Amino acid sequence: MNATAKPAASSATITLRGRKVVGGYAEGEALVTRDTISGWGGINPMTGTVIETRHELRGQTFKDKILVLPGAKGSSGWSAAFHVTRITGTAPKAMVFNEMTTKIALGAVVMRIPAVTDLDRDPLEVIETGDWVKVDADRGIVEIHRGPRR
């Protein structure tokens, strides 16, 4: 290998096991944040974009992504704001998160997307934005493939 060539990306699959919040299957590109997301006032549900000031994902869309986050913050309006994303077609494909609250659980239910929590490893330490992630919520399985879809 010459000095300018990049090493080949790892093709290993990382598997996490957790608990189903809402069943179903989805796969897609991961969007990861270490910040909790506020629903009411923190997102634009018409575009699926994070609008919260000082949020690390401000200006980025979670539409059609696997949203990986620590949990929800804010009022009970969280689930209502995310429900609108389902109606407008801007919802994430699935959610993988650490902290179970009624806000995020109800949000997953009203969006009708697969959601998994209580994983055997911290997903924020394993999954990176851009990884291809498969969520089989019925089985509580999250598979991570480094980089874009293979």
Which residues form the catalytic set? 75
68 and 96 in contact (C-beta within 8 Å)? yes
Phi, psi of 88 (to 5 degrees): -85, -5
- Give the span between the Cα atoms of 88 and 68, in whole angstroms: 21
142 and 133 in contact (C-beta within 8 Å)? yes
- Give the span between the Cα atoms of 147 and 85, in whole angstroms: 26
